[in-house]
Every structure is written in structure tokens, then in C-alpha cells.
Chain A
């Protein structure tokens, strides 16, 4: 196998990447919960 050319990501980049996928998902879940609250009114 040839030498790897990839680098280890910094912790800040990992946190940023998690926020990139997590924030839109959290917003979508929050909006769904707001709609679901109509079920118990």
C-alpha cells in the first residue's frame, strides 16, 4: 500500500462538522415536535 496522504483533522473541525449535520436536523425535529403538539390539544 502506498503512503497515506491524509491528515488528522483538528478537534475544532470535528465539532464544526457535527454542527453542520446536527443543526439542520435539530431545527427539523423542533418544527416536527411543534406540529405534533396539536395532537394533544
Chain B
């Protein structure tokens, strides 16, 4: 393809650069159209039960897949989410959001279709390859693709803008879960669980919806700024006017301090999310039915979603460092108090405390892009955001391991199940204290890491280049 064709093609940055007067409120729903689709990942577990009975139908047959083998599908998807977000971030900044969203749509939708073939032919490796590898790559690229675009469109409300999109990732399960159940019910026959056609339909629907987002996305012109808005004359110390190259960012202590802060914040939340149903039933033995526990899980998912919007929007006024400081201080206090609520039988406060904790878990994800943009500038924020998401993969292993193994150790040593979470909660409070220290140590990036004006690579010695 010729250079001119590249410059004017459907996916080119030139083609999607918005004209003067373009209404920027078109961009958040374009980002949401992608994030609401890939947020389906949180609801993948609804397929686990039916996929253990693909042959036996009424009950698992000897040749049916077991839950441990099926569990690898989701684990692979999260692994490839982290890897693709980390490695594709730089490419994303070069090609622009439309091409990245298109690739994400092909991978995520295509992953479902490959998985559908895997279910039809009962080949588990096709599900690992389909939803696990392809779908995971779609998740990672789709997650980071609209973030830097939103930050550039909303320089006056960076937190709120990214919060809107990342809220969609938290909310995708609210759509996917009932839709998956309804589709499986619709396609179910005496000979089939209806999983294969459900995957096929979902793959096509998600591809179309993500492509709608890709078609609607626009980037602002380089000199664009919101009408009536002027960048503050007195710049806050923690908001840089300079840019740091994606590769240079990894050489700064700020990146690794934030990596640890995010890891510890996510670790504290993710372990609880995975065990929420069992935990509330064991903490209030006999008082909480499985249906009520499912309601608790749903409420936590809602807190996760709303927290993504609330906390990132709040960070526009409080500052990112203060907002992260609140996550760690308030989170540690609540983790310390929550075992007492269980012991005293106070369900309402138990639920409220956990809802606040999980809202801050979501808030950590949605506030981090704006935090990175403040420290490293906006030019490579998408790629830097992708790389810091490896913290998610690390926390995805650390959180559940801590909660599950410590609980099991307690139970094995005679602690009643209802009290077996106490030590874990105190440990989580301790992790958040460490996270607080990491966040406290974050300072503005040293000037020798900044890029020289109009270059893509070289850091410059002086730090006075104006923002482009």
C-alpha cells in the first residue's frame, strides 16, 4: 500500500482527526462501545457449568471437560490481556485508536468464533487459542486503545473521561451475564447445551459493537483545546507539561512506585471479589442464603463499576496522589474494621464496608491513566498505561493466592470458617499501608527523562519544552 493510501486510509490518524467544532461528547460512548464488550470477561464463569456437561448434558460424562481445565481459558485470557496491553501500547500510539479498536474487535469477536468451533468439535485447545489467546489479545488492545484518546479530548477532566470508559469494563458483565444465560437457554436442545451457537452469536455481536466504536472514534487536532478552556498558568507540581517516551518511562522510579501501588491496591480487592460469595455465607452462617450471597456479589460488581467513575472524577478535583492516598488509608481502616462487623453480625455495615473497598479497587484502575498522564505527559500515555497493566496480571495471581491459602491454613489449624478471614483482612490492611508508602514517595519526573520538543525518542536535559 502506498504512503498516501496509508495516510488517507480508513484507519489512518489523518482520516479520524476531528474538524474544528467537533463535539467531544461523541468520544466517551465510542470508548464505552468497546469497553462494555470486553467487560464480558468478568462474566465468563457463566459458561463454566454448561461446558462441564457438553457430552453428558444432564450431568458431566467421563469425557467431559473438568473445571480445572476450563479455568485455564480465563487465566490465559487475563495473561494475554496483560501481555498485549504491555507490548501493543507503543504500536497503538503509532497507528491511532481506530486501527487498534479494529484489531481488538477482530481478536475478541474472532476468539469467540474459534471457541465456538472448539465447543462444536470438543477440542479444548481451540478454546485456549480462541477465547484465551485471541480473546485475551482483544481484551488488552481494546482496554488501552481509547484511553489516551479520551485524555487528549478531555485535558480539563482527564479522570472523569477515562473513568467513563473504564467504568464500561466494570459494567460489561451486567450485560453479558443475562445475555449469555438467555442465549444458552434459547439454543439449548436435548442434545446440546447451546454453548457453541451462543459463542458464535456473541462473537458476531461483539465484533459489530466494537466496530461501531471504532468507526465513531476521533482524535483531536494537535492544537485543539476545549472551547473556553485555557491550560492553568500556574502549573501544579504533579501535572507535567512535558512528555516522557514510553521506553524512558520504565527507567523512572515513578513508574515502578505506581506499578507497586496499583499491584497492592488490586491485590487487596481481587482476592475479595473472587471469594465474596463464600466469605459472606461463612461470616454470617445460617443468616445469608446462597441467593442473598449472589446479591452481595452483584452489589460488589456494581460498586466496582460505579467506583471507577466516581473516584476518577473525584481525582480531577483532589489530585491523583491524594485520591490514591485515600484508597490506601481508607482501605486499610475498613479492612481492619470489617472482621468486627462479621463477628457482631452487622450485615449492613459488612456490605457497606466491602462495597467501599471494592469501589476503590475499581477506582485504582480508572484513576491510573490520568495519574500517568499527569506524570509522564499525554503523548505516550496509552503505551505507558498498557505496560503498567502488567500489575493487574501480578495482582491476579497474588490476591486469590493470599486469600485462599491463608484461609485454608487457618481452617486446617482449627479456626472456625467464619473467623478464618480475619488474618487475611489484617494482611490486606498491611499491604495497603505499603501501597500508601509507595504512593507517598511519588514525585514529579526528573527533567532528564523528558523528551525534547518534536522528537520521538531523545530525552532532553532541560525540561522547559511547552506542551504540544
Contact = CB atoms under 8 A, between A and B. Distances in A.
Contacts of B288: 39
B7 A2 contact: yes
Contacts of A39: 288, 292, 295-296, 299, 347, 351
Given A27-B175, A35-B298, 13 more contacts: A4-B221, A6-B19, A9-B22, A14-B26, A18-B29, A24-B36, A25-B168, A28-B171, A32-B301, A33-B298, A35-B295, A36-B296, A40-B347
Contacts of B351: 39
Interface size class of B (residues with CB under 8 A): 35 or more
Interface stretch (B9-17, B311-319, B330-338, B432-440): B9-17
A32 B174 contact: yes
Contacts of A22: 29
B25 A14 contact: yes
B185 to A, nearest CB: 15
B291 interface: yes
Contacts of B29: 14, 17-18, 20-22
A1 B222 CA distance: 10
Contact of B23 (A8, A35, A41): A8
Q: Which are the 5 A-B pairs with shortest beta-carbon distances?
A: A28-B174, A36-B295, A32-B298, A39-B295, A21-B32
A25 to B, nearest CB: 5
Name A's interface SS. helix
B19 A4 contact: yes
A24 to B, nearest CB: 5
Contacts, number: 102
Interface residues of A, number: 31
B17 A6 contact: yes
A21 B164 CA distance: 11
Contacts of B216: 17
Nearest to B294: A35
A37 B23 contact: no
B33 interface: yes
Contacts of A37: 295
Contacts of B23: 8-9, 11, 14
A20 B59 CA distance: 39
A10 to B, nearest CB: 9
A2 B8 contact: yes
Given A24-B175, A32-B302, A38-B289, A7 B295 contact: no
Contacts of A5: 8, 15
28 contacts: A4-B14, A4-B18, A4-B221, A5-B8, A5-B15, A7-B19, A8-B19, A9-B22, A14-B29, A17-B30, A20-B29, A20-B212, A27-B175, A28-B177, A29-B171, A29-B174, A29-B302, A32-B298, A32-B299, A32-B302, A33-B298, A36-B296, A36-B302, A38-B291, A38-B292, A39-B351, A40-B347, A41-B292
B278 to A, nearest CB: 15
A34 B292 CA distance: 11
Contacts of B25: 14, 18
